Structure 1
Amino acid sequence: MLEFDRITFDPAIMGGRACIRGMRIPVSVILGQIAHGAMPDEVLADYPDLEPDDLRQALLYAAWLTQEEIHL
């Protein structure tokens, strides 16, 4: 597995969902905004605590997740 130092999992924060740096900002929210057409600067403006590297790592994490093999 790649090292995702900005992606955290804590049962006490958002029920253990993948979040950015222990904040209550789920990776899925960031990815959803980008998928719906938001530009990185818009996401960063909506979440001032985020950094550009947080967005990059969220995308890398999503790409890593989609590499899983499905056996039917």
Structure 2
Amino acid sequence: MNYQAHIEITSGKRSGKPCVKGTRITVYDVLGWLANGMSTTEILEDFSELNAEQIHACLAYAADREHHLTVIHAA
């Protein structure tokens, strides 16, 4: 999934956190809703400005970020 088509980071908008384009909804908002048990359908019902592809883009963004994490072990 090309999440870049759906996620933007704009300084001054939600403190520079990644947001769904055209909204003030952050990737972390969407991930939090999913983690707390909301279904995609429930999110779409509550936030009509979102679509299913944008929710999947948030998941793809998070997966990509997780893939690029580096762990530094203290000696």
Quickly say closer, same or farther: Cα 1:31–1:43, change in 2 above 3 A: same
Quickly say closer, same or farther: Cα 1:41–1:3, change in 2 above 3 A: closer
Aligned partner of 2:59 in structure 1 is: 59
Gapped runs of 5+ residues in structure 1? none
Q: With structure 2 as the length reference, what TM-score do the two structures score?
A: 0.86
Gapped runs of 5+ residues in structure 2? none
Identity %, equivalent residues: 27
Answer yes or no: is 1:20 the counterpart of 2:20: yes
Q: With structure 1 as the length reference, what TM-score do the two structures score?
A: 0.89
Q: Are 1:10 and 1:22, in contact at CA under 8 Å, matched by a contact in 2?
A: no
Q: Which has the higher contact order (CA 8 A, sep 6+)?
A: 2
How many residue pairs get aligned? The number is: 71
Where has structure 1 moved over 4 Å in runs of 4 or more? Answer: none
Query: Between Structure 1 and Structure 2, which shows a larger proportion of helix residues?
Result: 2
